Amino acid sequence: MQNVPSTRPENAETVKTGETTEPGAPVTLPTQRAAGCPFDPPAGLAELREERPLARMTYPDGHVGWLATGHSTVRAIMGDSRFSSRYELLHYPFPGGPEGPLPSAPVGDMTGMDAPEHTRFRRILTGKFTVRRMRQLSDRVAEITEERLDAMERGGPGVDLVEAFARPLPALMICELLGVPYADRERFQGHAHTIMSMDVTPEDRYAAFVGLQEYMAELVAAKRAAPSDDLLGDLARDSDLTDEELVGIGGFLLAAGLDTTANMIAHGTFALLTEPAQADALRADPDLAPQAVEELMRYLTIAHTSVKSALVDVELDGLLVRAGESVTLSLEAANRDPERFPDPDVLDLHRKATGHLGFGHGIHQCLGQQLARVELTVALPALLRRFPTLRLDVPAEEVPLRTDMSIYGVHRLPVTWDEA
Amino acid sequence: MDVRVDRDRCLGAGMCALTAPRVFDQDEEEGLVVLLDARPPEERRAAVRVAAGVCPASVITLTEHGSSPAA
């Protein structure tokens, strides 16, 4: 289908053909993590990054596009407006997706938009998520953190940290920020989980999306009638968003707030518990927290994969990406690139991890990243300090991993501690 | 060092305000970049270079003057 000679052997050397070189034979996206390495990217990505940081890739639907694994290549594509994020132009890189391109983004799903549509939504929201505004929430984050830690301590040793701590803290914060009643969580948490799953049928995903929309539509109607002093209330009163857009944005922000930081708290704790010296360093010096958070974002890269589509022919790294071809971006491979981060496979909380792609790059870089930073900076040291003997309650290899989710992490994290 | 920012292309991620808070801020309303110091002193320049490098929209432009007396 593409200009890849069928006689070309696997891993062929690239061949100069004038201005651009000929890529090697297409690969498939590595998705299997090596046994006993829950924190490392799927096996095979490191070799690819070293040999071909931009490689031909065969997608599960038969499309032949690209896979980018090098830090500079991934970063360049994320910052390049010649690459689109519109879902209807993208081929799904994981097995189980639709035949051919994806359906277009639902209204309000900013991830699947390009400028200028994206710009309009982003401009309405950026002022609500500034460094200063998010830092003003620090005290409230600390308060909720202490409440959850008190509850854990009262309940005694032996909890699933995901249920007891990692999930409620960001959920409570995003609910307060948006003006979504936390008591309604039964009505939206399951739907949000299904939307973020990679192995559900398109029908189930659509049903979950509709369910979340129905909940949001009721909420938006209430905010329009009586705008409350919160983000959705502000948007209902001040913005030019239609009801449909407000419902879409509300669902998007809620889902994004529920399933991201929660996984960083749980998976970050898992990583720290398997590296006790690192945990002790953070326990001893809470001032280390901001840079520890950056390093954990780099090392874990729970938002592991992104996809773009070339709008025009683009020459990149001496290779020609043709208009219409999808490029899968392995953020987790990029964040382990030794050309950008020395000893990349080592978790080192003292390292300067600035420049990692854990929040993405370009116009879609995480809107809520400053909230995530505040939550993680407060929550992780507080947890470690409250429970100096915190440890896994099962062997590490029995911790169930979220290999089936678009945001990686753990489904459960059984932990225990010695009672004081 | 001269620092310039392009507010029209800024997307308000806040990386600059986080990295070099004495030189960059975000405005209260839109969250877009506000340049506090277009000619930062020597001790802040390293942070400014990092901020320019990590800006997700690449809207920070630096002009280095080397050791010229005008710098």
Chain A residues near residue B53 by CB distance under 8 angstroms: 355
Alpha-carbon distance B5 to nearest alpha carbon in chain A (angstroms): 16
- Determine the Cα angle at A91 with ends A85 and A94, to 5°: 110
List chain B residues with CB under 8 Å of A361: 56
Q: What is the CATH number of the domain that holds A72?
A: 1.10.630.10
Whether residue A2 lies inside any domain: the answer is no
For residue B34, give how far its alpha carbon lies from the nearest alpha carbon of chain A (Å).
12
Architecture of domain B2-63: 2-Layer Sandwich (3.30)
State the residue range of the domain holding A208.
17-416
From the list A281, A250, A295, the residue with the least C-alpha distance to A385 is A281
Subunit contact B56:A131, Cβ cutoff 8 A: no
Would residue A148 count as lying in a domain? yes
CB atoms near residue A164 (< 10 Å): 17
Residue A11 lies in a domain: no
Q: Mean of the pLDDT values across residues B56-66?
A: 92
Amino acid at A163: E
pLDDT at A8 over 60: no
pLDDT number for residue A420: 74
**pLDDT band of B69, cuts 50, 70, 90:** very low
pLDDT in the model for residue A101: 82
Give pLDDT, residue A309: 98
Confidence of residue A88 (pLDDT cuts 50, 70, 90): very high
Is A129 near chain B, with CB under 8 Å? yes
Residue A21 lies in a domain: yes
Residues of chain A positioned with their CB less than 8 A from the CB of B54 = 354-355
Rounded average pLDDT over A143-158 = 97
pLDDT in tens, A214-235: 999 999 999 999 999 999 999 9
Contacts of A243 (CB under 8 A, 6+ apart): A217, A220, A221, A224
Cβ–Cβ gap B57/A370 under 8 Å: no
pLDDT at residue A19 in the model: 64
Residue A5: inside a domain: no
| pLDDT tens readout for residues A116-130 | 999 999 999 999 999
Structure tokens at A389: 């003997």
The residue type found at A364 is: H
3-state secondary structure of A415: strand
> How many of the other CB atoms lie within 10 Å of CB of A115?
14
**Closest-CA residue to A304 (of A336, A326, A256):** A336
For residue A3, is it within any domain?
A: no
Interhelix angle A138-155/A168-178, rounded to 10 degrees, is 140
**In contact, B36 and B23? CB cutoff 8 Å:** yes
* Residue A4: predicted pLDDT: 34
Token pair 């773009």 in the structure block, residue: A308
Residue that is written with structure tokens 């913005």 in the block: A239
**Residue range A199-212: mean pLDDT, rounded:** 87
Chain A contact probe: residue of B24, B29, B30 with most A CBs at under 10 A = B30
Smallest CA-to-CA distance from A135 within B21, B43, B58 is with: B21
Provide the residue ranges of all domains of chain B, joining segments of one domain with +: 2-63
Residue A366 in contact with partner chain B when CB distance is under 8 A? yes
Distance, in Å, from the CA atom of A250 to the CA atom of A92, rounded to the nearest integer, reads 25
pLDDT for A22 equals 80
Beta strand extents in A18-156 (DSSP E only): 20-22, 54-58, 64-68, 83-84
Q: Which residues of A178-188 are buried (b: 16+ CB within 10 A; e: fewer)?
A: bbbeeeebebb
Would an 8 Å CB–CB cutoff place A94 in contact with chain B? Answer: no
CA–CA distances in Å: residue A21 to residues A24, A31, A319, A380, A405: 9, 27, 6, 47, 36
Q: What is the pLDDT of residues A151-192, one digit of tens each?
A: 999 999 999 999 999 999 999 999 999 999 999 999 999 999
- Please tell me which residue of chain B has the smallest CA distance to A355: B54
Q: What is the pLDDT of residue B67?
A: 54
Q: Which of A80, A357, A365 to mutate to test the interface with B (most CBs of B within 10 A)?
A: A365
> With contacts defined as CB-CB under 8 Å, which chain B residues touch A362?
56-57
CB pairs under 8 A between A and B: 68
| Residue in the block written with tokens 């979340």 | A212
Within 13 Å, how many C-alpha atoms sit on residue A348's CB side? 12
In percent, the amount of chain A with pLDDT more than 90 equals 85
Phi, psi of A327 (to 5 degrees): -125, 115
Looking at residues A43-51, what average pLDDT do you find? 97
Average pLDDT, chain A: 92
* Residue A276 in tokens: 């006790």
Distance CA A377, CA A387 (A): 17
Q: C-alpha B14: how far from its chain's center? A: 11
Please check the confidence at residue A36 and state whether its pLDDT lies above 90.
yes
3-state secondary structure of B37: coil
Provide the pLDDT confidence category of residue A14 given band limits of 50, 70 and 90: very low
pLDDT attached to residue A9? 36
**Position A197 pLDDT exceeds 80:** yes
Report pLDDT digits (tens) over A378-399. 999 999 999 999 999 999 999 9
Residues A348-362, mean pLDDT to the nearest whole number: 96
pLDDT digits (tens, 9 = 90+) for A233-282: 999 999 999 999 999 999 999 999 998 999 999 999 999 999 999 999 99
Number of domains forming the structure of chain A: 1
Show residues of chain B in contact with A367, CB under 8 Å.
13
| Number of other CB atoms surrounding residue B66 within 10 Å | 7
